[in-house]
A and B are shown apart, each in its own frame.
Chain A
Amino acid sequence: AQSVTQLDSQVPVFEEAPVELRCNYSSSVSVYLFWYVQYPNQGLQLLLKYLSGSTLVKGINGFEAEFNKSQTYFHLRKPSVHISDTAEYFCAVSEYGSARQLTFGSGTQLTVLP
């Protein structure tokens, strides 16, 4: 079975500063990896996903993520954050052949300060 660990429950950062949200995973088989964002009282929006190929994945809103298979991480980064990026971010993993079930991390609250 797979598991996902988001290492930081809260990340405060000043506007226009870079940010990295960390996600480690474990699985005995190949996986797909996802980052979702959740704004207050809303559902989840897909930011980006890693399926195969290049280990640097670009997503929406200027976010990108680096997949490292040997160290089993999928960290999310943005070079310059905005106030509007304040939200909860979830990392998730799906194992090949898992009937599409996602396992979510516990989430990281990103708060962008003026």
Chain B
Amino acid sequence: GAVVSQHPSWVICKSGTSVKIECRSLDFQATTMFWYRQFPKQSLMLMATSNEGSKATYEQGVEKDKFLINHASLTLSTLTVTSAHPEDSSFYICSASVAGDSTDTQYFGPGTRLTVL
């Protein structure tokens, strides 16, 4: 149980284009989803917290106009990297907490490797 998927698993795009990444909870409802960024050989950096039906809360230093997050349902959150540039190349990972679970356990997706040329 508690499976999270991401799509696509990898994407290559040209500089200036936008890329959308989907995060789905497959067998549970997730009121809260999280988006992380991970650079090579580094830990995860929280980008934003997304609650279903409301605006995402972004961490300090994360541009909300560049990283658009939509959490339209209890099983789907999307991250859109707008006008992507090479410095946006990274590994993006989402996670989700099970609705009604007070233990704060997060279940992670497999990640999306973004390469901007």
Q: A residues engaging B (CB < 8 A)?
A: 32, 34, 36, 41-46, 49, 51, 90, 94, 98-102, 104-107
Contacts and interface: CB of A to CB of B under 8 A. Distances in A.
Given A43-B108, A44-B108, 15 more contacts: A32-B103, A43-B109, A43-B110, A44-B95, A49-B103, A51-B103, A90-B44, A99-B32, A100-B34, A100-B97, A102-B46, A104-B43, A104-B44, A106-B42, A106-B43
Nearest to B93: A43
Contacts, number: 55
Interface in B83-117: 91, 93, 95, 97, 103-111, 113
A101 B46 contact: yes
B43 A105 contact: yes
A32 B43 CA distance: 19
Interface of B: 4, 6, 32, 34, 42-44, 46, 49, 91, 93, 95, 97, 103-111, 113
A43 B105 contact: no
Interface majority SS (helix, strand, loop, mixed), chain A: loop
Contacts of B113: 41
B43 A42 contact: no
Contacts of A105: 43
Nearest to A95: B104
Nearest to A45: B108
